[in-house]
Structure 1
Amino acid sequence: MIATDLDGTFLHDDHTYNQRLFAKVFRQLQKHHIYFVAASGSSYPRLAREFAPYLDQMAFISQNGSVIHQGRQLLQTYPIQAPALARVMHILDRFYGPQDINQLVVSGPQTSYVDQHMDQHNLAIVKTFYERVQPVADLRQLFSDHPQEEFTKISINFADHVDLSRVAATLDQYLPASLIIENSGFNTDLIGDAHGTKRNGLALLQEKFNVADNEIVTFGDNENDLGMLAMTSQSYAMQNAHQVIRMQAGHVTARDNNHDGVLKTIQEILKNNK
């Protein structure tokens, strides 16, 4: 099984990937009965769009592990309970103002919600990562307005002047114990159920497909990938990853994300294991 993060890892900086090379590599993976897993902080609809031609032959760990799919089939969600959701919104209101937060997104397995007053620039960015985005009059009323809907992740993109290390320290003090905060890069923190991690999502797929620990290869570039990278000695931090991430992975790719580092590494792995 091969699992890779997307942004900053598998995808180029312009959110594209080498379609021709991937088609070639994917055929090789299928020939060797190797599952390919996309693991991202983004929503499932975005991942399904990115890999539309391969949708039914892949697995997807979305929202940092809060939502797991095998193809089109939903396998698992880790929803945030309504009181915990309300607590997060209260904490954000207490410590941060509109000048501190560019994008605040509350997501379910399929639909993500934003404030209807979000400017067009930030809305376009959100739609890149979440695909199905619905503006609402008041995010604070979302839970009472949609009592039957599951909410699985809160994403906060902070303005450049905000110190993210201080954000983590502050929120860790006040978040309910049932929640976890992880940095997803690009000045963005994701808050979700503590069980909803990429590591746990990959472990679920590992059990489902009966894959041994030494049969897993992982790729990542950021803090939210560390749990997944720690699962196997065959872990790869991207050449473009922060030094802390590279030090904790088993290997570092020879090429960065803009030069197809994941796909070229997979080709080398397949070549060396013939």
Structure 2
Amino acid sequence: MIKLVVTDLDGTLLNDQHEVPKRFWDIASRLFRKGIKLGIATGRPHFSITENFPPIMAHVYAISDNGSFIMHDKREILSKPLPHEEIAPLVNTSRGITGTYPVLCGKDYWFLECEDKVLLEKVLIYQKNIKIVEDLTKVEEPILKMSVLDLKGADHHSFPHYTQFADRLKVALGGALWVDVTRTDANKGEAVQMLQQLTGTSPDETLVFGDFMNDYEMMKAAKYSYAMKNAYPKILEAANFVTEKDNNEEGVLDVIEALCL
């Protein structure tokens, strides 16, 4: 019996227009009526979850910033900011790579150094609360995640530059154009394990969905780990199952109905 369902958003539950499927709301209500817990695990900020899921925020476990921040019913469960001394080296690395933009992701705001149109277009998909600052290395607020927008493609262009941090930080591909950096103990898999402890749920009673490398650890935290049909190849390998339909065909919802409802 499934007692906990955790899903990624972009490329997973949401379609390519970043929209929540209309039949999701009925399925969520049915899950809650059966006593099944629901978590949303995303690289997006907490604001983006509250913006897109206001009717169910009192019930959902909101895992944001790749597992660096967890909220439930307006209560902060977990916060794991990056070590402050790592911010400047991370930002300066991006400054040395053409076609990239560093973004610092705080609890309430994302901090940018410029207002380039292409940067704003990409960022505003995920976070409306932004602050433009002269120098990101001078930001004093706690930073949950550092992201790099790479217009040339993150996998082969900017990601290799960040492997130098892999001995002390978690570096992951957050999407085709994004590199995400968090603490090593801040990832979606660790977050799912925390929810399992909080809710008295075992990995054998957990169902998770993901599509990209920031979902990798989550695939290892559940017996019923589903990679999306449209997932990155390494996620397809890591998951125990693969959805029959992709994110534009509501593949997540079909599996939830089949296994839980």
TM-score normalized by the length of structure 1: 0.89
Kindly provide the amino acid, as one letter, of the partner of residue 50 in structure 2.
A
Range that drifts further, 225-234 or 129-138: 129-138
1:110 paired residue among 92, 108, 111:
108
Kindly provide the amino acid, as one letter, of the partner of residue 179 in structure 2.
D
Range that drifts further, 176-185 or 164-173: 164-173
Offset at 1:82? Answer: 1.5
CA contact (8 A) 1:109 1:152 kept: yes
| Residue of structure 2 in register with 1:222 after alignment | 212
Between the two proteins, the alignment pairs up a number of residues equal to 258
| Residue of structure 2 in register with 1:119 after alignment | 116
CA contact (8 A) 1:214 1:232 kept: yes
Percent identity among equivalent residues? 25
Query: In the aligned structure 1, how far is the partner of 2:76 from the partner of 2:200?
Result: 19
| Residue of structure 2 in register with 1:192 after alignment | 182
Gap regions ≥5 residues in structure 2:
none
Residue 190 of structure 1: SS of its match in structure 2?
strand
Residue 74 of structure 1: SS of its match in structure 2?
strand
Query: In the aligned structure 2, how far is the partner of 1:224 from the partner of 1:163?
Result: 13
Structure of larger gyration radius: 1
Are positions 1:207 and 2:197 aligned together? Answer: yes
Offset at 1:164? Answer: 2.4
CA shift digits 1:101-150 (9 cap, x unpaired): 1x3210112211111x32133213202112311111221222xxx3xx21
Q: Superposition RMSD on alpha carbons, in Å?
A: 1.6
Are positions 1:140 and 2:137 aligned together? Answer: yes
Query: In the aligned structure 1, how far is the partner of 2:147 from the partner of 2:243?
Result: 29
Kindly provide the amino acid, as one letter, of the partner of residue 15 in structure 1.
H
Which structure has more helix as a fraction of its residues? 1
**4+ residue stretches of structure 1 with deviation over 6 A?**
none
Residue 80 of structure 1: SS of its match in structure 2?
coil
Query: In the aligned structure 1, how far is the partner of 2:79 from the partner of 2:93?
Result: 24
Offset at 1:167? Answer: 3.3
Offset at 1:176? Answer: 7.1
Residue 255 of structure 2: SS of its match in structure 1?
helix
Offset at 1:270? Answer: 2.2
TM-score normalized by the length of structure 2: 0.93
1:170 paired residue among 153, 161, 174:
161
| Residue of structure 1 in register with 2:146 after alignment | 154
Query: In the aligned structure 2, how far is the partner of 1:249 from the partner of 1:81?
Result: 31
CA contact (8 A) 1:218 1:232 kept: yes
Offset at 1:34? Answer: 0.7
| Residue of structure 2 in register with 1:28 after alignment | 30
Kindly provide the amino acid, as one letter, of the partner of residue 6 in structure 1.
L
| Residue of structure 2 in register with 1:82 after alignment | 84
Offset at 1:24? Answer: 1.4
